[in-house]
Amino acid sequence: MSAIITKIIGKYNLSSNMSNCKIVIASSLKNLEEEIIREIAK
């Protein structure tokens, strides 16, 4: 029983880590994009 619960929690943690990672990548790309635009505008 506890093994099943551990498995489910493990999957949940993995998927939340994945979505956190996507958010971090997306915000990094946004910052990079803004920086490129500023450089071009100079």
Would you say the C-alpha torsion 15, 21, 23, 25 has a positive or negative sign?
negative
pLDDT average, residue stretch 1-29: 84
pLDDT tens string 17-35: 888 888 888 899 999 999 9
Q: How many CA atoms lie within 13 A of 13 on its CB side?
A: 6
The whole-number pLDDT of residue 19 equals 84
The whole-number pLDDT of residue 21 equals 80
The whole-number pLDDT of residue 17 equals 81
pLDDT of 41 above 90: yes
pLDDT of 1 above 80: no
Q: Which three-class secondary structure state does DSSP give residue 41?
A: helix
Would you list the DSSP string of 1-39? -HHHHHHHHHHHHHHHHHHHHHHHHHHHHHHHHHHHHHH
pLDDT average, residue stretch 8-22: 82
